């Protein structure tokens, strides 16, 4: 359990005093018009009222709940004398030799993977819509959809190998009762999850190759260090670590890092030559900062960590597509942590692979 921490000068909750209030905006389209019948008596006193003098407009936004529907498909079959067999047109919206339609399958996968509902809750929800479905059918639907989407999953992995910059991270998970790892490889328009027994640089090499093309964004975990690639370490992690430092030296280092980071974000623009000069300038400022003779052990520890990854803090200035933080990968992993708390663990590697694809 984390200890309780009392913040000094906590930020007050809510909007600032005098801030203009906001309400939901009017819809930009209308699907149906619902005129109300006029009143004949006053709802307050019961007296007679006149004919309508004016009309007032209100908007009602509503949702149409999914409806269980059974369709009988009547298929004409014809004889082909050339092939010497009966032929028929293919039905749309349903897989061959299957009874459940594609929309239903997509909805089940959405409930299971996007909303992270347990299998029994997916089953209960479908029963509330009027359809009985077993837990095994829910799993089979997800498995079949994952098999169909696997080529697209592999294509995303190839796109990430050719990207100019990616963000990478990992978190623990349980598979077959053993501790394993959920890796994430991401760029703004593509994300790949990968389950593995290992938490080592071999996983990154299998994804990106021996000499990765992208600039690899990550935290300072040692698994990323052996890679022969341009790297960008996460400034959010660094400032979070330095914020925990105490004493005059620790606070001084933290404030200096904050100021340098803020200053560096103003230099990540312009032509390549200017970007390179700006990156070298910031690296020089950082080198002068960490090379000081720090006497506090914890401050010295943070300075040593910065020095270990020298040359990996300002590549976001050099390369336009690179972010200074690893927040993209962190945001991708957050739902995975929630999902892990819901299911506990994957019972098999096939189940983990299926989840990665979906």
Q: How far apart are CA 258 and CA 250, in angstroms?
A: 12
The pTM of this model reads 0.82
Average pLDDT over residues 289-294: 87
Q: Is 242 left (phi over 0), alpha (psi -120 to 50) or beta?
A: alpha
3-state DSSP assignment of residue 23: coil
Report whether 276 contacts 320 (CB < 8 A): no
Give the pLDDT confidence score for residue 168 in this predicted structure. 94
Residue whose pair of structure tokens reads 């910059």 in the numeric block? 165
Q: How far apart are CA 235 and CA 330, in angstroms?
A: 13
Q: What is the pLDDT of residues 93-104, one digit of tens each?
A: 988 888 999 999
Average pLDDT over residues 245-270: 87
pLDDT of 2 strictly over 80 = no
Give the pLDDT confidence score for residue 22 in this predicted structure. 79
CB under 8 Å, gap of 24 or more: what pairs does 216-219 form?
216/165, 216/166, 216/168, 217/165, 217/166, 217/167, 217/168, 217/322, 217/323, 217/325, 217/326, 217/328, 217/329, 218/167, 218/168, 218/169, 218/326, 218/329, 219/169, 219/326
Report whether 328 contacts 290 (CB < 8 A): no
Q: What is the pLDDT of residues 65-86, one digit of tens each?
A: 888 899 998 989 899 999 999 9
Residues with Cβ within 8 Å of residue 174, at least 6 apart in sequence: 180, 340, 344, 345, 346
Q: How far apart are CA 133 and CA 121, in angstroms?
A: 11
Q: What is the pLDDT of residues 259-280, one digit of tens each?
A: 989 988 887 777 888 888 988 9
Give the pLDDT confidence score for residue 149 in this predicted structure. 93
CA angle 148, 149, 151 (to 5 degrees): 100
HSE-up of residue 356 (Cα within 13 Å, Cβ side): 25
Give the pLDDT confidence score for residue 67 in this predicted structure. 87
CA angle 119, 195, 116 (to 5 degrees): 25
β pairing state of 165-175 and 178-187: antiparallel
3-state helix, strand, coil in the chain (%, to 5): 40, 15, 45
pLDDT of 328 strictly over 90 = yes
For the chain, list the strands marked E by DSSP. Answer: 78-80, 85-87, 165-175, 178-187, 190-196, 215-218, 231-233
Give the pLDDT confidence score for residue 17 in this predicted structure. 78
Q: How far apart are CA 264 and CA 190, in angstroms?
A: 27
Q: What is the pLDDT of residues 187-197, one digit of tens each?
A: 999 999 999 99
Burial class of residue 184 in the structure, from the number of CB atoms within 10 Å of its CB (0-12 exposed, 13-18 middle, 19+ buried): buried
Q: What is the pLDDT of residues 115-151, one digit of tens each?
A: 989 899 999 999 998 899 999 999 999 999 999 999 9
**Which one has a higher pLDDT value, 347 or 153?**
153
What's the sign of the alpha-carbon dihedral 234, 237, 239, 245?
negative
Report whether 138 contacts 108 (CB < 8 A): yes
DSSP-assigned letters across all residues of 285-329: HHHHHHTS---SHHHHHHHHHHHHTTTSSSHHHH-TT--SS-HHH
Report whether 192 contacts 168 (CB < 8 A): no
Q: How far apart are CA 75 and CA 78, in angstroms?
A: 10
């Amino acid at each position: 359990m984390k200890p309780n921490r009392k913040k000094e000068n906590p930020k007050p909750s809510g909007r600032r005093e005098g801030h203009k209030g906001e309400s939901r905006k009017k819809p930009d389209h209308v699907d149906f018009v619902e005129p109300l019948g006029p009143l004949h008596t006053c709802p307050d006193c019961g007296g007679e009222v006149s004919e309508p003098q004016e009309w007032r407009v209100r908007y009602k936004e509503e949702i149409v709940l999914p409806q269980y529907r059974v369709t009988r498909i009547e298929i004409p079959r014809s004889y082909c004398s050339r092939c010497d067999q009966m032929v028929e047109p293919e039905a749309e919206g349903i897989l061959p030799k299957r009874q459940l339609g594609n929309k239903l399958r997509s909805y089940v996968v959405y409930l299971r993977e996007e909303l992270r509902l347990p299998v029994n809750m997916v089953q209960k929800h479908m029963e509330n819509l009027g359809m009985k479905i077993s837990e095994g059918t829910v799993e089979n639907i997800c498995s079949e959809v994952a098999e169909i989407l696997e080529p697209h999953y592999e294509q995303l992995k190839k796109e990430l190998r050719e990207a100019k910059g990616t963000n990478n991270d990992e978190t623990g998970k349980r598979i077959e009762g053993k501790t394993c790892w959920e890796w994430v490889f991401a760029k703004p328009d593509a994300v790949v999850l990968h389950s593995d027994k290992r938490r080592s640089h071999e996983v990154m090499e299998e994804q990106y190759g021996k000499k990765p093309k992208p600039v690899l964004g990550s935290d300072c975990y040692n698994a990323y260090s052996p890679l022969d690639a341009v790297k960008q370490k996460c400034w959010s992690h660094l400032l979070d670590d330095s914020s925990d430092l105490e004493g005059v030296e620790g606070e001084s280092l933290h404030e200096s890092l904050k100021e340098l980071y803020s200053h560096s974000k103003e230099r990540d623009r312009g032509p390549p030559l200017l970007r390179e000069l700006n990156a070298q300038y910031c690296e020089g400022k950082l080198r002068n900062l960490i090379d000081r003779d720090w006497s506090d052990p914890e401050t010295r520890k943070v300075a040593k960590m910065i020095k270990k990854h020298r040359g990996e803090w300002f590549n976001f200035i050099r390369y336009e597509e690179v972010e200074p933080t690893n927040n993209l990968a962190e945001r991708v992993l957050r739902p995975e942590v929630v999902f892990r708390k819901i299911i506990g663990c994957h019972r098999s590697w096939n189940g983990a692979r299926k989840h990665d694809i979906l």
